[in-house]
Amino acid sequence: MSPERLERINAMLDQRQPDLTVCMEGVHKNHNLAAVVRTADAVGVSDVHAVWKNETMRVSGGSAAGSQNWLDVHNYTNTKDAIDTLKQQGMQVLVTNLSASAVDFREIDYTQPTAIILGQEKFGASQQALDMADQDIIIPMVGMVQSLNVSVACSVVLYEAQRQRQAAGMYQQPRISQQRRQRILFEGGHPIFAKACQRKGLPYPEIDQDGQIVASEQWWQQMQMTQDAWQNIDNE
């Protein structure tokens, strides 16, 4: 891994917000899936949750392909399991919904651990999501239409969350765990070896401050390569 790539990955990880997330509930259009993941990565979200109404759908390809490598997607088959998981993590659960109890999305304190539920494109959030959410939020609109595209609504809310968190200094101090940093550094900096570890069932080695692999001789033998040979390839 080059020094430049190491610096870029660490700079990204230093600003990750592990307690800010979105949950896509039944979102199924590929361009919307990709756009939500891309925006999440752009504002420093480290995890995205997704409830799949159709088991053949998954986040993949398109503009999300690069972004998905840098955050974790957690999949569920029902809404209750997804929201239960988020609440167990101490998240306040918000859902975009036009209702009498909804508040302007800018009135929310996003410096608190927050999960934002994004409903299906045509029908919006399910009744289960509305019942389990802590607060309905709306994006004020003064035109003829009453709703935004789901990925656009996601971007609007997430950038308000980013604004509040930046003002509170939450992007100035690394908040991601060292264990997770190590995993992402290895997967992002040494993708060929990461895939080999996954294929062979081997644990990931440590990555040192220079971005280099620190592993035992046995690990290198299981990779069927010597450390010297790898360093020669890596430096070419």
Provide the β-strand partners of residue 17: 45
Contact between 43 and 163 under an 8 Å Cβ cutoff? The reply is no
CA distance 206 to 30: 36
Find all residues with CB under 8 Å of 51, minimum gap 6, and list them.
Answer: 23, 24, 25, 26, 76, 77, 78, 79, 82
- The per-residue pLDDT for range 69-117, each reduced to its tens digit, is 789 999 999 999 999 999 999 999 999 887 888 899 999 999 999 999 9
Nearest to 44 by CA among 86, 64, 4, 15: 15
pLDDT tens for the 236 residues of the chain, in order: 888 999 999 999 999 999 999 998 887 778 888 888 999 999 999 999 999 876 544 554 333 445 567 899 999 999 999 999 999 999 999 998 878 888 999 999 999 999 999 877 677 788 999 999 999 998 888 786 777 788 899 999 999 999 999 999 999 999 999 999 999 999 999 999 999 999 888 999 999 999 999 999 889 888 876 556 665 555 54
Q: Is 139 annotated as a binding residue?
A: yes
- The 8-class DSSP code of residue 175 comes to -
- ∠ Cα 191 62 41 (to 5°): 65
pTM over 0.75, yes/no: yes
Q: How does the average pLDDT of the chain come out, rounded?
A: 86
3-class secondary-structure state, position 205: coil
Q: Is 116 marked within a binding site?
A: no
CATH fold group of domain 17-167: Alpha/beta knot (3.40.1280)
- Which sequence spans correspond to the domains of the chain? 17-167, 178-234
Residue 71 among known ligand-binding residues: no
